[in-house]
Structure 1
Amino acid sequence: MTRLATLLQTQLSTLPLGRMPFAQVMEMALYHPEHGYYGPGPRRIGRQGDFFTSVSVGPLFGRLLARQAVAEWQAQEKPDGFTIIEQGAHDGQLAEDILNALNEKPMRYVIVEPNPRHQEAQRHRLGSRVEWVESLSALQTGPKHAFFLCNELPDAFPVHLVRWNGESWQELFVETADAETFLLVPGELTSPALAAEVARLPTDLDPGHTLEINLTMLDWARELARAAFQGVIFIADYGLDEDEFFVDSRASGTIRRYHQHQMDGRVLEDLGECDLTTHINFTRLIEETALHGLTQREYDLQGRVLGRLAMPWLQSLEGSPPDAATLRQFQSLTHPAMMGRSFRCLILEKPARA
């Protein structure tokens, strides 16, 4: 049993019903400062880690985002203090790739990072090239002009699990099965906010259909909208449109654990030692951001979005192919059989806060 699992067993034994909402367990498993998957510091990604990201493919992803940032800076008439803001920067590799591609353009780079151990790893890599804030709330006083980006951030927010029993939606809780294992059990919804989201769900699904409700993502979207800057928000992640969650093939939900490039649905095993992620509901995210004044510029598969971002670069080659390594990166990022279809990109325009 992992240290996190032992801690969870102890906590469950102190609760009146001996159970805890799955969202709370997922938060512990990922972010407990000592025993969570991400708490002690950035995890290794790529071939030697548990999973690949667009960043681990190589520097091309950062170079394309740098081009987009420069285009937004120019579209806003090159304002002083223009800032690239990244949240979910992990070990700082994407920031380094972007900064290296900017060719010393007069831009600030700010990372939103609450975890001091992640900050330490980022400082070791980036030094004085970057500034840090601990939360989005620090952006309510500035900057005035910015390009905000995040790569694979909302998919790692803790989610509530709900299951349709044929008559009503119930929340799933974690309780102890025996000395070594946990199980999910249904119960009543734990908050008005969760009940409001559940009220949006269909009631014509087969009994047992399970869905994730990402309340943290909605809170995040509202806080992002309250930031002072005007500019563009770039969100890359794996997710689905709302109707795609309701098909029979996804009746068990999309929550998965990752370990050494293996994926399965045994999300209550090896807690704290495996990554837990879920597909985000892009339809719901777009709706929530629109309610708070953000407008959709583009939403598409990553392959198509990055292909369009790459067009000026490809044209600059004047018919000469890029070097083999860069070509492999481009194919990995955009090909439908690789990351081009499994990831999606949402680009939002944000006006200055009134």
Structure 2
Amino acid sequence: MSPLPQILRAQLAATPAGRLPFVQIMELALYHPEHGYYGAGLRRIGRQGDFFTSVSVGPLFGKLLAMRAIQEWKEQDEPENFTIIEQGAHDGQLAEDVLSALEGKSMRYLIVEPNPKYREVQTKRLGDRVQWVDNLAALQTGPKHAFFLCNELPDAFPVHLVRWNGERWRELFVEADGTEAFRFVAGDFSCDELAEEAKHLPHDLETGHTLEINLAMLTWIRELAHAAFRGAIFIADYGLDAEEFFADSRASGTIRRYWQHHMDGHVLEDLGACDLTTHINFTRLVDEATRHGMKQREYDLQGRVLGRMGLTWMESLQGKVPDRATAALIRQFNSLTHPAIMGRSFRCLILDKPSAP
């Protein structure tokens, strides 16, 4: 049992109102430096962990991204300082897969990683093949040409929860219920930015409809817009269009708790011991990116995007009897793209980013 719930109860008791916005609870549950789900150290992914990612399927995902990086490098006239930038690199497996598939192309690889525990694991795996920076602000001075990638990053940003009461949107706060549990309670918005964002939400939903507002995602895309590089930004994540995001069928929101491949909506239980994740509103993300000078280059289900990225590779296999390694890659391709496996669960967005203003 994680000691985090007891820490949270002490924090709640110390606040004048005895409650905190859910965004702060989620921040601590995921990123508390000692007891947070991610902050405490590396989490096992795959069959022995709490969830699967495209990276845990095998090296093909990295190979496809390497092919896309090479394509981007060529489209930028093969600059010498071309850099692949990854954020949310976890244990460095994706970086290793991409680097191994670059076909001899000499490209700089840069990881944005603020957590020293994760950077230590990445260093052991990748050695001097990679460089690191602590945050996106470090990218404002360079590189000038890049391919930026992230896999399942914004879905783990802490979010505000809001609920429609039939007349207006109200924020959900968390308080202790007098036992060992926590409960939600509605209140006025905790910050002006949230109040401003809520103005754009629909007002024709059923009473009790709950939504996530991911202000951190909007801050993140604005920080990316101010990075010095020009090139493409590749984002793969759980997500929905706005129409789907606001649908009546999702009246309880998209936030979910993951533990040992089980998913449920009990997001205030076992805090610190379980992953918390949400679907991102891709429509809102694209709107904010466009407002800051980026353009949508491609957006689709992961199966379709990766299928197009891998078309040349698949065509090169026609008429050949695959060896064991190639057969394994073909199975990985099916897992990544088949709609019944990962092809429909994830979506990919590729943005065209000009140089910073």
TM-score class, shorter-chain normalisation, is over 0.9
**Residue 354 of structure 2 corresponds to residue 351 of structure 1:** yes
3-state SS in 2 of match to 1:65: helix
Instruction: State which of 312, 333, 337 in structure 1 corresponds to 2:336.
Output: 333
3-state SS in 2 of match to 1:85: strand
| 1:334-354 superposed Cα distances (whole Å, 9 cap, x missing partner) | 001111011000001111123
Who is 1:138 aligned against?
A: 138
Do the aligned partners of 1:83 and 1:107 also contact (CA within 8 Å) in 2? yes
The 1-side partners of 2:328 and 2:106 are apart by: 29
The 2-side partners of 1:243 and 1:163 are apart by: 17
The 1-side partners of 2:177 and 2:327 are apart by: 53
The 2-side partners of 1:80 and 1:245 are apart by: 42
3-state SS in 2 of match to 1:271: coil
Who is 1:105 aligned against?
A: 105
The 2-side partners of 1:35 and 1:126 are apart by: 27
3-state SS in 2 of match to 1:342: coil
- For 1:79, the aligned partner's letter is P
**Residue 9 of structure 2 corresponds to residue 6 of structure 1:** no
Structure 1 residue 103: deviation in Å?
3.0
| Cα distance change, pair 208–321 in 1 and its aligned pair in 2 (3 A) | farther
Do the aligned partners of 1:112 and 1:135 also contact (CA within 8 Å) in 2? yes
Structure 1 residue 247: deviation in Å?
1.7
Do the aligned partners of 1:146 and 1:229 also contact (CA within 8 Å) in 2? yes
Who is 1:49 aligned against?
A: 49
Who is 1:189 aligned against?
A: 189
| Cα distance change, pair 324–162 in 1 and its aligned pair in 2 (3 A) | same
The 1-side partners of 2:11 and 2:179 are apart by: 14
1:272-291 equivalence runs, <5 A: 272-291=272-291
Structure 1 residue 321: deviation in Å?
6.0
- For 2:163, the aligned partner's letter is R
| RMSD over aligned Cα atoms | 0.9
Who is 1:75 aligned against?
A: 75
Instruction: State which of 318, 324, 327 in structure 2 corresponds to 1:324.
Output: 327
Query: Structure 1 stretches of 5 or more lacking a match?
Result: none
Q: Structure 1 segments of 4 or more deviating over 2 A?
A: 318-324
- For 1:201, the aligned partner's letter is L
Provide the aligned length of Structure 1 versus Structure 2. Answer: 354
Who is 2:225 aligned against?
A: 225
| 1:116-173 superposed Cα distances (whole Å, 9 cap, x missing partner) | 0000010011011000000000000000000000000000000000000101100000
Who is 1:214 aligned against?
A: 214
1:147-296 equivalence runs, <5 A: 147-296=147-296
3-state SS in 1 of match to 2:253: coil
- For 1:114, the aligned partner's letter is P
Query: Structure 2 stretches of 5 or more lacking a match?
Result: none
Who is 2:65 aligned against?
A: 65
Structure 1 residue 191: deviation in Å?
1.1
The 2-side partners of 1:297 and 1:319 are apart by: 33
The 2-side partners of 1:61 and 1:258 are apart by: 23
Structure 1 residue 178: deviation in Å?
2.3
3-state SS in 2 of match to 1:284: helix
The 1-side partners of 2:105 and 2:343 are apart by: 29
3-state SS in 1 of match to 2:57: coil
Structure 1 residue 40: deviation in Å?
1.7
Who is 1:86 aligned against?
A: 86
3-state SS in 1 of match to 2:344: helix
Structure 1 residue 327: deviation in Å?
1.7
Do the aligned partners of 1:41 and 1:121 also contact (CA within 8 Å) in 2? no
| 1:56-94 superposed Cα distances (whole Å, 9 cap, x missing partner) | 000000000000000111111110110000000000000
